[in-house]
């Protein structure tokens, strides 16, 4: 008879496979993930709601990599670099924002913004930080659309497969 149980062994994650009277412990790889969260306000117009209206946009970014000197990257430096990517979107009408590609201007949605931001963050990461830590990778960018009072309608996560 075979059964499996997931558990936490010290600081590692393991899967235990029970084979009759014997137990096999398989260590699973563990990775360190750096997560950053941002917000910006911007308005847009869509075919389903043509009048321009404002939203609070929440952006979550996840990076992975090996730690060097106790960190994946210097967190304040990464935050500042990514804030510079988002700054041209702040307090703008996204449909007319020339920093966005044409598809995102035509339909500024969580889907098109997450695709744009994934590419923009990846370029910034490659240009500014890969030399500091060649193991770092952008894993995902999630964009949530919220009402100005903070109510969240939902989000879209663009991620590396």
List the domain range (segments joined by +) for residue 10: 1-30
Q: Are 60 and 36 in contact (CB under 8 A)?
A: yes
Residue 14 — pLDDT band, cuts 50, 70, 90?
Answer: low
Q: Is the per-residue pLDDT at 138 higher than 80?
A: yes
What is the number of domains present in the chain?
2
| Residue-level pLDDT at 17 | 65
Residues 61, 102 within the same domain: yes
Residues 7, 47 within the same domain: no
Q: Tens digits of per-residue pLDDT, 20-79?
A: 677 666 666 677 899 999 999 999 999 887 899 999 999 999 999 999 899 999 999 999
Residues 20, 62 within the same domain: no
Q: Tens digits of per-residue pLDDT, 89-116?
A: 999 999 999 999 999 999 999 999 999 9
Selected residue with higher pLDDT from 81 and 9: 81
| Residue-level pLDDT at 93 | 97
Residues 1, 77 within the same domain: no
């Amino acid at each position: 008879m075979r059964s499996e149980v997931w558990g936490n062994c010290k600081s590692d994650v393991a899967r235990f496979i029970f084979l009759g009277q014997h137990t096999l412990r398989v260590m699973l790889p563990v990775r360190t993930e750096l997560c950053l969260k941002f917000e910006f306000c911007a308005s847009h117009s869509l075919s389903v709601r043509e009048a321009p209206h404002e939203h609070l946009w929440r952006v979550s970014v996840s990076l992975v990599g090996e730690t060097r000197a106790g960190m994946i990257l210097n967190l304040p430096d990464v935050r500042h670099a990514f804030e510079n990517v988002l700054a041209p979107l702040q307090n703008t009408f996204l449909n007319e924002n020339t920093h966005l590609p044409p598809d995102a201007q035509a339909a500024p949605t969580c889907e098109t913004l997450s695709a744009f931001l994934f590419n923009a963050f990846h370029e910034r990461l490659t240009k500014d930080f890969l030399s500091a830590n060649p193991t770092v990778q952008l894993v995902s960018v999630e964009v949530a659309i919220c009402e100005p009072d903070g109510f969240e309608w939902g989000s879209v996560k663009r991620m590396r497969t």
